[in-house]
Chains A and B, each alone.
Chain A
Amino acid sequence: KQEVTQIPAALSVPEGENLVLNCSFTDSAIYNLQWFRQDPGKGLTSLLLIQSSQREQTSGRLNASLDKSSGRSTLYIAASQPGDSATYLCAVIDSNYQLIWGAGTKLIIKP
């Protein structure tokens, strides 16, 4: 059974730092992986989707990587800003198109 883990559960860094959020999964037979952002009181916003055949995807200051063999994905945020403060969730989509979610990492960027 696929399990998705995000560590740490919370992270606080000063503004301007580059940072990495981690997502690990137990079964490498995935269809794709998607990173989301959730602001308090809001729904989820899709950030990046990585197909299983891809190694990384970039959007602005965000870069997501995927290493299926090790069961890991990372979300790299460059030059962090207070507006990046949110909870970041990753979800693995398996071969049956079912989403398996991590519990998220709550990120706080200190001005």
Chain B
Amino acid sequence: DAKTTQPPSMDCAEGRAANLPCNHSTISGNEYVYWYRQIHSQGPQYIIHGLKNNETNEMASLIITEDRKSSTLILPHATLRDTAVYYCIVRFNDYKLSFGAGTTVTVRA
């Protein structure tokens, strides 16, 4: 699986958009980009995934660059409950999810 690089931490203000970057420069053509988050002492929660096109759901938007070497997860209106560790994962449509260090996002009032 392609390796991902995320900033270790970031702060954002409640009510503002949070933009979480992820670099995956070695991604191959049929690898998907997944985002999960983990709130303290809970299991990971699926957020969104994409292959080439930008995606949006009720939780977030995923912007994938044209060369697919990086992506950005956008939380449009961050709330205090969005404080969590966010994981960007790149993988084939295979069967294993491998987690990196992720980005610890702290939403401040």
Indicate whether A and B interact.
no
Residues on A lying within 8 angstroms of B by beta carbon are none
Residues on B lying within 8 angstroms of A by beta carbon are none
